[in-house]
Amino acid sequence: MQPSDPQAVLAPMTAAAVFMVATIDDGGEDAIRELLPDLAALCRTVGSRSPDGRLTLVTGIGAEAWDRLFDGPRPAHLHPFVELRGDVHHAPATPGDLLFHIRAERVDLCFELAMLITERLAGAATVVDEVHGFRYFDDRAMLAFVDGVENPTGRAAVDAVLVADDDPDFAGSSYVIVQKYLHDMDAWNAMAVEAQEVVIGRRKASNLELSDEEKAPGSHNVVTNITDDDGNELKILRENMPFGAPGRGEFGTYFIGYAADPAVTGRMIENMFVGDPRSGATDLILDVSTAVTGSLFAVPTATFLDDPPGPPGTPAAAPEPDPDDSLGIGKLAAD
């Protein structure tokens, strides 16, 4: 089996991002299959206008869409996002067949690529959610704490994010969960800085982690810290971005978490909303934050997108004849 090139999942954070989630219209499957191999060229075309703009595109495909688009196997851990209802907090599951995660150092590059993609989606898919994110000072979230501090790097990032050979048909791929959160900034800003630090589990100014004694069971970096059966910490790659519209009173964080197994991200979210099994505590950040969307996507390799499978029910291709055996010489020799 030939090695596959991953999409730009591990690309560094940028100053701007656009997140678009779309649903495929009835009968739009052929147009989407035709679009997928063209996405890389669209990204290169726009990016060539500003090579230092670091424009990248990652495309995700939802579980229901996968079965509508492709014949053959599907990624082993692909499934719809699971809605969660705790005693207090709710993580909704919302429609999403396609995700387009566009990143660049310039807003115009993101905008141009998003515009070209939506033009190709016309009549085949409907954009149901679109968020334009921005870098907030020194990579701070809307709540003014540094975000993504625990992201793995180097080989650890590859291991945490990219599917290995245990799913050989999709080695080099990934999974991504997205959630859009809206924040009650009046309630947040009414809290003392020391109380905010307990919610997050870090110092606001220095970004230093609080000691275990200073944290609460519901501190964000407590409930989202999970381990495997051997006690090894499990990591995901967060590419979150703040977004907002002050005139509308909208202040939010777009959560986007990549992982080799979406169950890792799922456990973190379940701890947040339902309760950490170690303490029963839910995430204190949810007292001022409301999730309004939730979707899960497979992120196939760039190689897969360049030459995707045919539609469901496509007859298997006949094996190519051996050029050295076109006259049946091998059979005669064997006889």
C-alpha dihedral (66, 91, 261, 198), degrees to nearest 10: 150
Residue 84 within any structural domain of the chain: yes
Beta strand pairing call for 125-134 and 84-85? unpaired
Q: Residue 169 above 90 pLDDT? A: yes
**Which of these, 122, 107, 147, lies nearest to 16 by C-alpha position?**
107
The domain of 327 spans 8-334
More confidently predicted of 333 and 292: 292
Residue 40 within any structural domain of the chain: yes
| pLDDT at residue 251 in the model | 98
Residue 311 within any structural domain of the chain: yes
Q: Which 8-state DSSP code applies to residue 168?
A: G
Which is the catalytic residue, given 26, 38, 67, 147? 147
Residue 2 within any structural domain of the chain: no
| pLDDT at residue 331 in the model | 44
| pLDDT at residue 319 in the model | 63
The radius of gyration of the chain's CA atoms, rounded to the nearest angstrom, is: 22
* Owner of token pair 């793995």: 152
**Enclosing H/E stretch for 159:** helix 154-161
Angle at 139 between CA 294 and CA 83, to 5 degrees: 10
As for how many domains the chain has, the answer is: 1
Each residue's pLDDT tens digit, 301-320: 999 999 999 999 877 665 66
Each residue's pLDDT tens digit, 84-110: 999 999 999 999 999 999 999 999 999
| pLDDT at residue 314 in the model | 79
**Enclosing H/E stretch for 114:** helix 107-121
Task: Give Cβ neighbours of residue 303 (< 8 Å, ≥ 6 apart).
Answer: 2, 4, 5, 172
Each residue's pLDDT tens digit, 23-77: 999 999 999 999 999 999 999 999 999 999 999 999 999 999 999 999 999 999 9
Residue 147 annotated to the active site: yes
Are the CB atoms for 204 and 144 separated by under 8 Å?
A: yes
Are the CB atoms for 133 and 19 separated by under 8 Å?
A: yes
- How far apart are the C-alpha atoms of 227 and 26, rounded to whole Å? 42
Residue 233 within any structural domain of the chain: yes
Each residue's pLDDT tens digit, 249-303: 999 999 999 999 999 999 999 999 999 999 999 999 999 999 999 999 999 999 9
Each residue's pLDDT tens digit, 112-158: 999 999 999 999 999 999 999 999 999 999 999 999 999 999 999 99
Q: How far apart are the first and last CA of the chain?
A: 32
Residue 3 within any structural domain of the chain: no
Residue 1 within any structural domain of the chain: no
Statement: the pTM of the whole predicted model exceeds 0.85: yes
Residue 258 within any structural domain of the chain: yes
Would you call 289 helix, strand, or coil by DSSP?
Answer: strand
